[in-house]
Structure 1
Amino acid sequence: MPQAFYNAGLVMGTISTFVIGAICTYCLHILVQAQYELCKRKHVPVLTYPESMKEALEQGPRFLRKFAGISPAIVDSFMISYQLGICCVYIVFVATNVKQVADFYWVDLDVRVWMLILLGPLILINFVRNLKLLAPFSQLANIITFVGIGITMYYVFTDLPPVSSRDYVGEPRNYVLFVGTTLFALEAVGVIIALENNMQTPASFGGYFGVLNKGMTVIVFLYAFVGFFGYVKYGEKSLGSVTLNIPNDEPLAHSVNIIFAIAIFISYALQCYVPVEIIWNTYMKQKLENSNKKLLIEYLMRTGVVLLTFILALAIPRLGLFISLFGALCLSTLGITFPAIIDICVWWPDGLGKYNYILVKDIMLIIFGSLGFLIGTATSIIEIITSF
């Protein structure tokens, strides 16, 4: 987030973080509400995101109905790409933080070597097949993350430069990188929908004081806080993670590297759960129903997913640009454009509200998401090519 604020400026970054956070939260709400409505119409307890897209398009405007058949595969492709992108970033993040500590206390190894060392443990943690079994580990990751943020903020606020020393508004051409990074940081549509589908009381997910609003409020304020003061502290030297900016020669700073490396390592399995579930349940499980090697093949598939993220992480170890690319490429569509399309289709044609305000609002979201996809992806790819 400090690097994102460097691209946007202090004032523009702060305002935009809250705006993007509100848009992301709102789009998740309309997606969940649309899923509830479709479930009632179909008399089924749960619909996945791809199933919801297909059912919605079948009931929407006539010119969209022809895309209903291929829509699940399109949503799955974006979902898998995004979640695998997160996993790639996580591998780079963990390896980079471990390297900083190892360079000081042990031996200076290339970050790619640390990625290779991490490969075995990542495969093993991805063998956990039940989302509920990952919940305690995720809670542990949350706790130690807050400890790590507290220590990081200690370094940020030590000898903090004046706010006036930083740009209030960044260069316009860099703003799309801010949008991509912030979308990546704030949006987690795949995991959120998976969590909502696995809750004991799904009704507590939505609402003004539901799980989603509470969680997103904390996250948006936290990210704006870290981004603002992290940029004030480090300015143009802000790296892809603020943990990489803190001193690399102090034990307390090294503890932050280890804390976040552990937290993100644990979170890898949660993020990997979504693509694994899609690939296995949608495209493989039914074909292997009568096979006595079904469990072996599932574990091989899980191993293959980890190997794929490992290879991609080796190919582009540019943490900040990687984050911005996947944020723009996938989340502008999954988190904004697709929920708006589903919302239009579910309430088409008689439930769009007075003066068709739902239609107008959703079209604006589709335009915003599409621009974020096109401009953000192009800019991020250009920046990645230039960095090499």
Structure 2
Amino acid sequence: MTDKAPNDYDPYEHREVAHPISDFGAFLNIVKAVLGTGILAAPMAFRNAGYLPAIGCTIIIGIIIIHSKLILLSGMYELAKRKQVPLLTYADAMIIGAIEGPPALRCTQYFMKGLVNVMLVVNHFGCCCVYVVFIANCVKDFGDYYWEEHDSRIYMAMETVPLCLIFLIPNLKALVPLVLVANVTLIFGFGIIFYYIFSDMAPFSGMAAIQDVYLFPFFFGATMFAFDAPGLIVSVEANMKSPLHFRRVCGVFVQAMLVVVLLQICFAFFGYWSYGENIASTILQNLPYNAVLSAIARIIFAFSIVISHPLQGYVPVDVIWNNWLKAKVAENKQFGIEMIFRTVVAILSVLVAIACPNLTIILSLVGALCLSFLGLILPGVLDICVKYETGYGPIKIYLLLSMLVVFVGLLGAAVGTYVSIQEWVFTYTRPNHTVRGFYEGVLNEKHSHDLYYL
């Protein structure tokens, strides 16, 4: 606390970070976190919308996602400034926002805190479990061809030790070198995929400019949620050496997201052009299984997701440890207990994946709801609360923009629920009741559902 007037207090000047991240480190972490498995489904997403609306809508969705994160970070900063504290968590910001916002929201303050924490843990831990499945299936494709066929659960079990080891890295700064290596290898991975894309291009006429409107929700859900990682974005900003560089209009976050959006569009457009209606749920499935280059690509993406696993896991560890466990442990034992807790979380993600290798059907629904609330609805609500007393600008422009973000979030929740239920019904009503995995094929018949997991 300080004697400065609230308007003179700058939370960034009083923020102490044990292991601060540089601008470059933050850029790498955001690109690596957002550029996950979703981009591999981008060509299929374009196929479900048609390339013309897909390009325009991808740009619009990217802008909305960027805006929602900027108002979230700006709102958290403003509330920290008013309360004269160096840093607020996402959950604490929602409590203060509800208190200072419209009277109708004040009774929801503790509900919002619990909602944020639970959704952060469930969503990011769910991503860790899905990543375990994805890694196993990538390696299985390689092993089945060059070695012998084994159940994917065996490959999941083999992930336990390396994931535990990398999960012991206690802060985002220490992950930066690994993230840099992963991003460099991804360049080669995407290079291999583009090599196959451009080596045998199908006629341009094979692409649909506009698809059946019935398939558009599959594009919308995949694209919106491929861009969003709200918990990690907040964590990266909180651990930066110069956090102001992160949230300004042309700052680190915007630059990273522009790279992701541009890569998503290029990758999706050319991938769909090359394979047309034969595009698979993830483009790695379109690569040949008997070629060294395609095998290398699969290993590269598996390695990349291994690095993404602790990035996603950082959020539930941070929420649970700092909010519920750390205060109950003696100070001289905190480091050791935290390492044990991190190991337990890594092992649990593997065990859940082994027990429910097809849990992506459920997690697609949970993820749709969590990301809609954390990434869009709650940031819009927080912005409305923060500006409640100071005003919403000419013609209430800020209120209208925040209401638009909330509306898109509600639309995303509805679309995500619809897509997930469609996946569930179609998967379990197929004649042989075979459940598809995250990395398994889709049916590409003309009138079939095109299913993929985010």
TM-score when normalising by structure 2: 0.80
- Cα 1:220–1:382 shift into 2, 3 Å: same
Instruction: Please list, as runs of the form range in 1=range in 2, the aligned pairs for 1:199-238 lying within 5 A after superposition.
Output: 199-238=240-279
Per mean C-alpha deviation after superposition, the further-off stretch among 110-119 and 300-309 is 300-309
Per-residue CA deviation, residues 237-295 of structure 1 (Å, 9 max, x unaligned), is 433432232111111111111111111111211111111111111111112236x7544
Instruction: Please list, as runs of the form range in 1=range in 2, the aligned pairs for 1:177-256 lying within 5 A after superposition.
Output: 177-256=218-297
SS at match of 2:93: helix
The residue type equivalent to 1:309 in the other structure is: S
Q: Which residue of 1 aligns with 2:416?
A: 376
Q: Which ranges of structure 1 fall in alignment gaps of 5 or more residues?
A: none
User: Which of residues 299, 304, 318 in structure 1 aligns to 2:339?
Assistant: 299
CA distance in 1, matches of 2:219, 2:67: 20
- Cα 1:19–1:157 shift into 2, 3 Å: same
User: Which of residues 175, 182, 185 in structure 2 aligns to 1:144?
Assistant: 185
Q: Which residue of 2 aligns with 1:347?
A: 387
Instruction: Please state if 1:34 is matched with 2:34.
Output: no
User: Which of residues 334, 359, 365 in structure 1 aligns to 2:399?
Assistant: 359
- Cα 1:277–1:115 shift into 2, 3 Å: same
Q: RMSD in angstroms over aligned alpha carbons?
A: 2.1
- Cα 1:176–1:277 shift into 2, 3 Å: same
Q: Which residue of 2 aligns with 1:310?
A: 350
Report deviation, 1:207: 2.4
Instruction: Please state if 1:9 is matched with 2:54.
Output: no
Q: Which residue of 2 aligns with 1:43?
A: 84
User: Which of residues 43, 58, 66 in structure 2 aligns to 1:25?
Assistant: 66
Q: After TM superposition, what 4+ stretches of structure 1 lie above 6 angstroms from structure 2?
A: none
For the Cα contact (< 8 Å) 1:241–1:320, is it kept in 2? no
CA distance in 1, matches of 2:231, 2:288: 35
Instruction: Please list, as runs of the form range in 1=range in 2, the aligned pairs for 1:276-291 lying within 5 A after superposition.
Output: 276-289=317-330
SS at match of 2:108: coil
Report deviation, 1:174: 2.8
CA distance in 2, matches of 1:234, 1:318: 27
CA distance in 1, matches of 2:271, 2:362: 20
Q: Which ranges of structure 2 fall in alignment gaps of 5 or more residues?
A: 1-41, 428-434, 436-454
CA distance in 2, matches of 1:304, 1:273: 13
SS at match of 2:161: helix
- Cα 1:201–1:361 shift into 2, 3 Å: same
Instruction: Please state if 1:109 is matched with 2:169.
Output: no
CA distance in 1, matches of 2:204, 2:363: 26
SS at match of 1:199: coil
TM-score when normalising by structure 1: 0.93
CA distance in 1, matches of 2:270, 2:357: 26
Instruction: Please state if 1:93 is matched with 2:128.
Output: no
Q: Which residue of 1 aligns with 2:114?
A: 73
Q: Which residue of 2 aligns with 1:258?
A: 299
User: Which of residues 359, 364, 371 in structure 2 aligns to 1:331?
Assistant: 371
CA distance in 2, matches of 1:297, 1:142: 31
CA distance in 2, matches of 1:32, 1:124: 32
